[in-house]
Chains A and B, each alone.
Chain A
Amino acid sequence: MIFITGPLFAGKKQYVRTLGLDPDSPEVACGAQELARTQKDLEALADGLAQKRAVICTEVGGGIVPMDREERLFRERAGRLSVLLAQRAETVVRVWCGLPEILKGEPPC
Chain B
Amino acid sequence: MFTLIIGGSASGKSRYAESLFGPGTAAPRFYIATMGLFDQECQARAARHKAQRAGRGFETVERCLDLAGLELPKGSQALLEDMGNLVANELYSPGGAGPGTAKAVLAGIDRLTARCGELVVVSNEVFLGGRDYVGDTLHYMKALAEINRAMAARADRAVEVVCGLTVFHKGGAGLCG
| A interface residue numbers (CB < 8 A to B) | 3, 5, 7, 57, 59-65, 69, 72, 75-80, 82-83, 85-87, 92, 94, 101, 103-104
Would you call A86 and B141 a contact (CB within 8 A)?
no
**Nearest residue, chain A, Cβ from B41:** A69
Which chain B positions have C-beta within 8 A of A72? 9
Other-chain residue from B128, B137, B141 in contact with A59 (beta carbon distance below 8 A): B128
A64-B133, A79-B12, A79-B163 known; 4 new pairs, CB 8 Å cut-off, are: A5-B163, A63-B126, A65-B9, A86-B163
Closest 4 CB pairs of A and B: A63-B129, A79-B10, A62-B128, A61-B8
**Nearest residue, chain B, Cβ from A80:** B10
Would you call B129 and A5 a contact (CB within 8 A)?
no
Would you call B162 and A75 a contact (CB within 8 A)?
no
Which chain B positions have C-beta within 8 A of A3? 163
- Determine whether B76 belongs to the interface, using a CB cutoff of 8 Å to chain A: no
Other-chain residue from B10, B130, B162, B163 in contact with A63 (beta carbon distance below 8 A): B130
Other-chain residue from A62, A80, A94 in contact with B129 (beta carbon distance below 8 A): A62
CA distance A76 to B8 in the complex (A): 9
- Where chain A touches its partner, the secondary structure class is mixed
Would you call B162 and A7 a contact (CB within 8 A)?
no
Which chain A positions have C-beta within 8 A of B61? none
Which B residues between 88 and 127 are near A, CB-CB below 8 angstroms?
A: 125-127
Known: A75-B9, A79-B9. A86 touches B127 (CB 8 A): no
Known: A86-B165, A104-B165. A61 touches B10 (CB 8 A): yes
Would you call B164 and A83 a contact (CB within 8 A)?
yes
Which chain A positions have C-beta within 8 A of B128? 7, 59, 62-63
CA distance A82 to B165 in the complex (A): 10
Which chain B positions have C-beta within 8 A of A104? 165
**Nearest residue, chain A, Cβ from B126:** A64
Would you call B129 and A64 a contact (CB within 8 A)?
yes
Which chain B positions have C-beta within 8 A of A94? 162
- Determine whether B70 belongs to the interface, using a CB cutoff of 8 Å to chain A: no
CA distance A57 to B162 in the complex (A): 12
Other-chain residue from B12, B141, B162, B167 in contact with A64 (beta carbon distance below 8 A): B141
CA distance A62 to B23 in the complex (A): 31
